[in-house]
Amino acid sequence: MKKILFYITPFALLLFACKEQIPVGLDLNGNTNSIDTTYLATPETPLLKKVCIEESTGNKCTNCPNATLQLEDMISNHPNRIITMAIHHGLEEDIPLQGYFSLENQDAIDLIDFIGQPAGQPAATFDRTVVGGAAMILRGDGGAWNAALTTQLAKVSPINIHLTSSYDAGQDKVNTIVKIACTDTTSSNLMLSLFVIENGLIGAQLDNGVKVPDYVFNHVLRKAITPVIGMPLLNTIVLKEKGRVIQKLISFTPDAIWNKDKCQIVAIVHRNDNGGAIKEVLQVEEVNMK
Amino acid sequence: MKRILTSIFLISSLHLFSQGNITGDLMMNVNFFQRDTNIRAAGNQLYDNLLSGGEGWLGLRYSGYGFTGTVRFDAFQNSNLQNPQSALTIAGLGMFSLSKEVNNLTITAGHVYDQIGSGIIFRAYEDRGLLIDNALFGLHLKYKLNNNLTVKAFSGQTKILFERYNPIIKGFAAEGDLDIGKNAHMTPGIGIVNRTMDKNSMDAIVSTVNSYPIEKRFTPVYNSFATTVYNTLNAGDFTWYVEGALKSAEAIATATEGLQKLSGNVIYSTLGFAKSKFGINASFKRTENFVMRSSPNESLLRGIYNWQPIIAQIRPQRLIARYTPPSQDLSEMGGSVSTYITPNDNLNLTFSYTHINTLNNDPLYREAFGEVELRSIKNFIFHVGTQYLIYNQVLYQSKEKALYPTIHALTPFVEVVYKFNEKKSLRTEIQYMNTKQDFGSWAFALFEFNVAPKWSLAMSDMYNITPNKVHVENAHHYPNLFVAYTKGPNRFTAQYVKQVEGINCTGGVCRYEPAFSGFKMGVTSTF
């Protein structure tokens, strides 16, 4: 027995000796506000599923403008069915003297890590579904993107999202209300992610080998309001039954650098199943910030 | 040169395998889904579009020279096993492990199945009926210090299908094996397990905590620790097992209050006494906030890396099995006593009582059970018994209290086996469950004809004889026709099934399963 104690004691001391620091992002004093309610209501009629396209792009990615044009065509051809978010990273450089201003940020880097690094740029994920072993699909000639979009447009979502946002200039707070209604019973672990995107940013972009000095960047990911991986939705309820409504009021302070008139809030509800391996987006919605 | 190298490789491989031993096993299931809206076996893609699906496992094991290699192929094709209401299609290497014994040190890498004590602080195991396979993917070392003491240590991640949860599980255990005098023997042990969460899991917890009112917020931790002390003592006719476990405070998902930072503890003990004509077994368990998951973001059977012993006895009778109580990891205190008396070779009497409450004294489960086995009539074996149970459906099945009051059920049953000769026998079961709650009362009858060792044919029906109109509009039959053929190590089964929705429990772990309607086939083989 003495021998056992001899071996175990140092091991146990090692494990217990170190004190953990407070996790990053924890707000014990209530600086960010989130008020939740949940209830059962008459089930809503399922809304048409919207497809979430998260684009991996960069200002030094010479083929990316063509990819962006393809996405714009998709949006035109399927009105109110597609929401895109441009994640700037990778071939993204910050050379102010040449007019290149990086739109990369930590949330963009974390989101790409979460979705999965693309094999190259341009690439995009369609509802974060895995195609050919990866969620990020390289554009190539654009055929793979068209196929992925067709697949996702045909799906029916068990989730409706109702999203509103307003800006309180007095308190410099954006108040976002997300109402999530289950139109079918689901046993998936659901996560909600809120992002701020901005349109109309101008800077240099490499386009088919030519520098375009005043390129207009739209749908640019500026910040994740929730953790990039999302926040759990009622993970204590095993089955989110048909008719279940979850409402969240989330308030945050916008960054001063943003043009709030050109900012939008994107709300994504995605699955978190099989230990996080399945991240499929079930529904997505966007609204102007103010 | 290539030919020479290939020849050398083949010869050495043949030599290697000729010295070792290869074993394996196959298990395959195929389901054909037949829509039946009357019993709610419909309304999902399996019944509406896909119509068939199945799953299979092929395991191979090589052992020789102190080396053991195991590999298993798993395939799910439109399988309803993970979620009975949706199809799962995925295939690949389900597990592999490489193990080598060097003197007294056994080194294992890959997917490890093991447990500490009864499994309260750690158990990596597989249960195919519920698609539980929480093997630890990592490294495992076991060292036999001497004939009385073995220590082991491991580190890895908990498996889920072909993926792994990100948190890391580390553990250590020491187990003894000692004689005490001439008639007593004890196997004591201690263990410790540490789980370290990953950043993504912590971000989700932080996000949830931030959404709480300020007075309910707390500081979550990445690391949780659990430790256990256990011992089995065999002394004469007595066998006594006792285990006590503690767990450090961490965020756990509670039933009504969301995430809370709570520490936990368990005490579990069994005591048995057996003589030739009399035996008695008693067990006791108290559990408080002992949730062991890779993170509190997981629910149902996901992310669990321990196993809690079950106090209630799992009964084979079809109707009684509808209300088997799973172990509770948040709040449970229960005990059971079971005794058997065998006055002579032709008579065996069994009685047992089980009593389980929450720690707040809310009744969870009661069972009084009695059974008589009679062999005095030539070629006949009779089992006659009855069970009375009280089952808290609200707490066990998360049902709405107003609609699902606690179940009180009385279930008498009779089983008669008649042996025509050494090979042929007929087994008959008749059960009746009298209850006003849940779906109401049931009747069940089964006839099973066996021709040993090859054939088994059975037909049964479960009928909702007095339905509870609150939940069931009309009484329905749930028939089952079954045939099995066994030849050597191969067994082939086929059955037509209509199965009522309910809770499926295996080894004390339970999950809800919707109704099933259709045809099932299976093949198992060992070699």
The answer to whether the CB atoms of A275 and B296 lie below 8 A apart is no
CB-defined contacts A:B, below 8 A: 121
Q: How far is A26 from chain B (nearest CA, A)?
A: 5
Tell me whether residue B393 is in a domain.
Answer: yes
Q: Are residues B301 and B341 in the same domain?
A: no
List CB contacts of B286: < 8 A, sequence separation 6 or more: B265, B266, B267, B268, B332, B333, B359
Tell me whether residue B131 is in a domain.
Answer: yes
Tell me whether residue B24 is in a domain.
Answer: no
Tell me whether residue A11 is in a domain.
Answer: no
Using the Cβ of A42 and the Cβ atoms of chain B, whether some distance falls under 8 Å is answered with no
Q: Are residues B262 and B342 in the same domain?
A: no
- The last residue of one of the domains, among B475, B492, B521, is B475
pLDDT digits (tens, 9 = 90+) for B395-420: 888 777 888 899 999 999 999 999 99
- DSSP H helix total and E strand total for chain A: 4, 15
pLDDT attached to residue A260:
95
The count of residues in chain B is 527
Q: Are residues B241 and B122 in the same domain?
A: yes
Cα of first residue to Cα of last residue in chain A, in angstroms, is: 69
Residue B37: pLDDT band with limits 50, 70, 90: confident
pLDDT digits (tens, 9 = 90+) for A253-269: 899 999 999 999 999 99
Where are the alpha helices (H) located in B381-451, listed in sequence order? 393-397
Q: Tell me what ipTM this predicted complex has.
A: 0.71
Tell me whether residue B506 is in a domain.
Answer: no
pLDDT of residue A10 exceeding 70, the answer is no
Q: At what angle do helices A64-77 and A143-153 cross, to 10 degrees?
A: 30
- Strands A159-168, A210-217: pairing is unpaired
CATH of the domain at B398: 2.40.160
Domain span at residue B289? 103-309
pLDDT of residue B378 exceeding 80, the answer is yes
pLDDT attached to residue B270:
97
pLDDT attached to residue B86:
79
pLDDT attached to residue B256:
76
Q: Are residues B157 and B286 in the same domain?
A: yes
- Domains in chain A, number: 1
Q: Are residues B174 and B291 in the same domain?
A: yes
Tell me whether residue A16 is in a domain.
Answer: no
DSSP-based three-state secondary structure for B2: helix
Domain span at residue A57? 24-288
pLDDT attached to residue B2:
55
Of B55-64, B202-211, B249-258, least confident by mean pLDDT is B202-211
Residue B210: pLDDT band with limits 50, 70, 90: confident
pLDDT of residue A31 exceeding 60, the answer is no
pLDDT digits (tens, 9 = 90+) for A79-110: 999 999 999 999 999 998 899 999 999 899 98
Q: Which of B178, B177, B99, B110 lies closest to B142 in space, CA to CA?
A: B99
CATH of the domain at A55: 2.60.40.10
Of B172, B207, B210, the CB nearest to A11: B172
What are the strands of the beta sheet with A159-168, ordered from one edge? Answer: A33-40, A244-252, A173-182, A159-168
Q: How far is A143 from chain B (nearest CA, A)?
A: 25
The answer to whether the CB atoms of A187 and B300 lie below 8 A apart is yes
Residue B15: pLDDT band with limits 50, 70, 90: low
Ranges of beta strands (E only) in B177-258 are 178-180, 184-196, 223-235, 238-253
Q: Are residues B315 and B294 in the same domain?
A: no
pLDDT of residue B13 exceeding 70, the answer is no
* Cα gap B83→B161, rounded to integer Å: 13
Q: Are residues B118 and B265 in the same domain?
A: yes
pLDDT of residue A208 exceeding 70, the answer is yes
Tell me whether residue A187 is in a domain.
Answer: yes
- Cβ count near A172 (within 10 Å): 10
Of A28, A36, A238, the CB nearest to B211: A36
pLDDT attached to residue A250:
87
pLDDT of residue B302 exceeding 80, the answer is yes
Residue B214: its chain A contacts at CB < 8 A?
28-30
- Cβ count near A65 (within 10 Å): 19
Q: How far is A180 from chain B (nearest CA, A)?
A: 16
The answer to whether the CB atoms of B302 and A32 lie below 8 A apart is no
Q: Are residues B338 and B432 in the same domain?
A: yes
- Domains in chain B, number: 2
The answer to whether the CB atoms of A23 and B223 lie below 8 A apart is no
pLDDT attached to residue A15:
56
The answer to whether the CB atoms of B145 and A25 lie below 8 A apart is no
Q: H-helix or E-strand containing B327?
A: none
What's chain B's average pLDDT?
Answer: 91
pLDDT digits (tens, 9 = 90+) for B278-292: 999 999 999 999 999
Higher pLDDT, B510 or B429: B429
The answer to whether the CB atoms of A26 and B206 lie below 8 A apart is yes
Q: What is the dihedral of CA A19, A22, A23, A28, to 10 degrees?
A: 150
Residue A122: pLDDT band with limits 50, 70, 90: very high
Residue A185: pLDDT band with limits 50, 70, 90: confident
pLDDT attached to residue A13:
55
pLDDT of residue A11 exceeding 70, the answer is no
Q: Are residues B256 and B339 in the same domain?
A: no
What are residue A126's phi and psi, to 5 degrees? -105, 105
pLDDT digits (tens, 9 = 90+) for B476-518: 999 999 999 999 999 999 999 998 887 766 666 677 777 889 9
What are residue A18's phi and psi, to 5 degrees? -90, 140
Tell me whether residue B30 is in a domain.
Answer: no
pLDDT attached to residue A272:
86
Of B149, B165, B221, the CB nearest to A275: B165
What are residue A201's phi and psi, to 5 degrees? -80, 140
Tell me whether residue A76 is in a domain.
Answer: yes
pLDDT of residue B193 exceeding 60, the answer is yes
Instruction: Give the mean pLDDT of B338-356.
Output: 96
Tell me whether residue A170 is in a domain.
Answer: yes
Of A25-39, A265-279, B311-325, least confident by mean pLDDT is A25-39
B109: alpha, beta or left, given left = phi > 0 and alpha = psi -120 to 50? Answer: beta
Q: Are residues B287 and B391 in the same domain?
A: no
The count of residues in chain A is 290
Q: DSSP 3-state helix, strand, coil percentages of chain A (rounded to 5)?
A: 20, 40, 40
Tell me whether residue B9 is in a domain.
Answer: no
* Cα gap B503→B327, rounded to integer Å: 13
Residue A235: pLDDT band with limits 50, 70, 90: low
pLDDT attached to residue B181:
87
Q: Are residues B272 and B373 in the same domain?
A: no
pLDDT attached to residue B129:
84
Q: Are residues B422 and B453 in the same domain?
A: yes
- Closest residue in A to B191 (Cα–Cα): A8
pLDDT of residue A239 exceeding 80, the answer is no
Of B160, B214, B253, the CB nearest to A29: B214
Contact B344, B367 (CB under 8 A): no
Residue B88: its chain A contacts at CB < 8 A?
none
Using the Cβ of A96 and the Cβ atoms of chain B, whether some distance falls under 8 Å is answered with no
pLDDT attached to residue B483:
94
- The last residue of one of the domains, among B264, B292, B309, is B309
Instruction: Give the mean pLDDT of A135-163.
Output: 93
For B13, the token pair is: 């491989």
Q: How far is A239 from chain B (nearest CA, A)?
A: 10
Tell me whether residue B53 is in a domain.
Answer: no
Contact B460, B480 (CB under 8 A): yes
- The last residue of one of the domains, among B242, B277, B309, is B309
Instruction: Give the mean pLDDT of A15-44.
Output: 73
Q: How far is B125 from chain A (nearest CA, A)?
A: 17
